[in-house]
Chains A and B, each alone.
Chain A
Amino acid sequence: MANASGQTPQSASQSDSSSARSGKGRHGSDRTLGFVCLALGIWYVLETRNFNLTTFGTGPVGPKTLPTLVGILFSLLALVLIIKPGESPSWGSLSAWSQLGAVVATSFLFGQLLEPLGFVVASTLLAIVIGLFFKGPIRKLAPMAFVFSVVVAFVFNNWLELRLPAGWWGGF
């Protein structure tokens, strides 16, 4: 869905040069993914030993059977990827990474602050911070973020049967 609009010839040529610069090898990404998946698969199989099996759980097939098979299959697929990796994509610059990290951190923070602050305040803050990452001018962004949050809160609380957390701001 997305790649269609995102992939321009320009960005493709940029990716070639930057991956050459980074010198991490052409298959590094897929190998790393393979090792991460392998570790996940092994953990997933071993974790079945911690299931609290009741008397129901015994017999030829129980709650462990499918997870064990699925985990083994996943690990094998990961091994294939490690042995036969594809080309690595280009990984962005450090500043791009720190921005992504900041957006993710903002999202986590929003989850934590939503209930104590209430929807309108939390949403306004979130919209401003994310908008700034997309280089929005703060003078336009701040009022638009606030108005948008108030409108959403009003619509959700009054027209839809969804209650957004009011927090100390009150809300509607």
Chain B
Amino acid sequence: MDLSPILASDFNLWDGFAAALTLENLLLAVIGCLLGTLIGVLPGIGPITGVAILFPITLGLGLGDASTLILLASVYYGTQYGGSTTSILLNVPGEASSVVTTLDGYQMAKQGRAGQALAISAIGSFIAGIGAVIGLMLFGPPLAEITIQFQSPEKFMVVILAFATVSSLAGKSLIKGLLAVVFGVMLATVGTDLQTGVVRYTFGELKLQEGLDFVIIAIGLFAVSEVLTLLEDRVMGEETAFVKAERIWVSFKEFMFSLGAIIRGSFVGFFIGLLPGTGASVAGFMSYGLERRLSDRDETFGKGDIRGVAAPESANNAAAGGSLVPLFTLGIPGSGTTAVLLGILISMGVRPGSGNVFEDSPELIWTLIASMFIGNAILLLLNFPLVNVFVQILKIPTWFLMPVILVISYIGVYSVNNSSLDITIMTVFGIIGYFARKMDVPLAPILLGLILGDDLEQNFRRALVADDGNYLTFFDGPLNIGLAVAVVVVLFLPQILDRVRGGKIKEEFADSGAEV
């Protein structure tokens, strides 16, 4: 294995550690992990909402790009840990990715073994998280090399591939997924056309000439619509009774008993994370299924088997790390949260997929990767003593929590441009998001369409101008044909497998709560 890109370039992993270990960045990582865990514990607000709301506020701190990324990435990691906590103690998954943890986790808690379940979940997540970051370092740089060969037609096709994966796997219906992503591209065309200065779809509103800001749309689509949905469901609100974990610990024997599940879960998770569009929830589900088939000889799974917690918890963390590989190399995000991270990277002038980020922005990327090692360690240390404290946040009544989420969303949005119009736009997208959720239209593709729409159009036009308007330019050369085949496979393989296996796969994806 050639380690030179990791250790020998101008700015490498060790420099990343040096940058991430400054007092300020360490503090930000701790804050991010804390906030993320709290957000993860709360059912309802998920990682997307958390990262989207915090991003504009983070800008107000006047941090450098690397520090901002460290904070937000820590939030993302923290939500994964927090989500498992409520799965185990409450039988309520804080995040889609920990749905499957409820099966054995809550059973363990009911048997008075909540402490062991939480401990193995934290240890499994730690091992898997570290493993995934190592995987990212090994796979990322060589894969990013491919992008050097990308011209406009290839860049266009990569964006199409990103759209295809996210719309094919994000929801229950392919048509609705595609409608969502195309709608997102339509939103991206609002504003002034960069090449010609022509103003498009602004209704004569001056402020719209700069285009729609993805943060405002993200907060509207995810946070505001969430509050509206909860108002209708009122699933929360009732006093939540949760099991208290007396002592978070796991014996060496139990750890060794789970180690196989942790390692298998980490591998399954990482490789599922590599496939764009699948994400952490699918990984948890798949690894649980695998572990049950391999290890459930006494039919203890579903009745409080510690391996039934270890496997999915390792897998979903490994997948969160694995999904950063397509994100950093090709600019293809696997989930709504990584789509938001991509939007943030683009706003910092880093465009994965359009260039090799490991060479173009090594400081940012290696500092971020180093901070992931550190973040995982922080989360492990925080979780053991503080789990019972985190769970207290569930005592905050819904009638106070919802206004708080709304107010923080509003000021986050307002602070982007100091404009009341943005609050109106956010509310409109809150309504759109509410209806979309009701009708099973996935939200992540809308956001991705908006974030990558500009790229799509610029490369589309550049490619056509360079080839005198010949549309076959998008299928010229082996790379393009490979990408086109990948698009077709991604779009139709799940449907074909559905037919073959009688609708099982889509159901499994949908049931596992694959990112809305």
Interface residues of A (CB under 8 A from B): 1-6, 8, 11, 29-30, 33, 37, 40, 44, 47-48, 51-54, 56-57, 59-63, 65-67, 70-71, 73-74, 77-78, 80-81, 84, 86, 89, 91-92, 96, 99-100, 103-104, 107-108, 110-112, 114-115, 119, 123, 126-128, 130-137, 141, 144-145, 148-149, 152, 156, 160-164
Given that A1-B95, A148-B404 are known contacts, is A60 also in contact with B179, CB under 8 Å in the complex? no
A-B contact pairs, 7 of them (CB 8 A): A4-B93, A5-B93, A74-B186, A84-B175, A119-B411, A152-B407, A162-B415
Q: Let me know if A110 and B439 touch, CB within 8 A.
A: no
Bound complex: CA of A63 vs CA of B195, how far in Å? Answer: 8
Q: Let me know if B200 and A5 touch, CB within 8 A.
A: no
Bound complex: CA of A73 vs CA of B93, how far in Å? Answer: 38
Select A57's contact among B198, B230, B233, B468, beta carbons within 8 Å: B198
Residues of A within 8 A of B302 (CB): none
Bound complex: CA of A114 vs CA of B183, how far in Å? Answer: 30
Q: Let me know if B229 and A51 touch, CB within 8 A.
A: no
Residues of B within 8 A of A66 (CB): 189, 456-457, 460-461
Residues of A within 8 A of B173 (CB): 86
Residues of A within 8 A of B460 (CB): 61, 65-66
Q: Let me know if B468 and A110 touch, CB within 8 A.
A: no
Q: Let me know if A11 and B233 touch, CB within 8 A.
A: yes
Interface residues of B (CB under 8 A from A): 43-44, 46-49, 57, 60-62, 92-96, 99, 172-173, 175-176, 178-179, 182-183, 185-186, 189, 193, 195-201, 222, 224, 226-235, 237, 281, 336, 397-400, 402-404, 406-408, 410-411, 414-415, 418, 420-421, 423-424, 427, 430-431, 434-435, 437-441, 456-457, 460-461, 464-465, 468-469, 513, 515-516
Q: Closest B-chain residue to A69, C-beta based?
A: B460
Q: Closest A-chain residue to B47, C-beta based?
A: A1
Select A111's contact among B176, B201, B227, B420, beta carbons within 8 Å: B420
Number of A-B residue pairs having CB atoms within 8 Å of each other in the complex: 227
Q: Let me know if B400 and A131 touch, CB within 8 A.
A: yes
Give 5 nearest A-B pairs by CB, closest first.
A136-B399, A60-B469, A1-B46, A111-B423, A127-B403
Bound complex: CA of A71 vs CA of B185, how far in Å? Answer: 10
Closest CB of chain B to A143's CB: distance in Å? 11
Given A89-B439, A96-B232, A111-B427; 5 other pairs, CB 8 A cutoff: A1-B336, A2-B437, A37-B179, A107-B406, A148-B403
Q: Let me know if A70 and B185 touch, CB within 8 A.
A: yes
Q: Let me know if A3 and B516 touch, CB within 8 A.
A: yes
Residues of A within 8 A of B434 (CB): 100
Given that A107-B423, A114-B414, A144-B400 are known contacts, is A162 also in contact with B57, CB under 8 Å in the complex? yes
Q: Let me know if B44 and A5 touch, CB within 8 A.
A: yes
Select B61's contact among A2, A56, A62, A161, beta carbons within 8 Å: A161
Closest CB of chain A to B152's CB: distance in Å? 12
Interface centre among A6, A80, A141 (most CB of B within 10 A): A6
Select B407's contact among A89, A100, A132, A149, beta carbons within 8 Å: A149
Closest CB of chain A to B355's CB: distance in Å? 22
Q: Let me know if A1 and B403 touch, CB within 8 A.
A: no
Q: Let me know if A1 and B48 touch, CB within 8 A.
A: yes
Interface centre among A2, A40, A137 (most CB of B within 10 A): A2
Q: Let me know if A70 and B189 touch, CB within 8 A.
A: yes
Bound complex: CA of A132 vs CA of B440, how far in Å? Answer: 29
Given that A70-B186, A86-B173, A100-B434 are known contacts, is A8 also in contact with B198, CB under 8 Å in the complex? no
Select A63's contact among B172, B196, B399, B427, beta carbons within 8 Å: B196
Closest CB of chain A to B275's CB: distance in Å? 19
Q: Let me know if B402 and A134 touch, CB within 8 A.
A: yes
Bound complex: CA of A136 vs CA of B468, how far in Å? Answer: 64
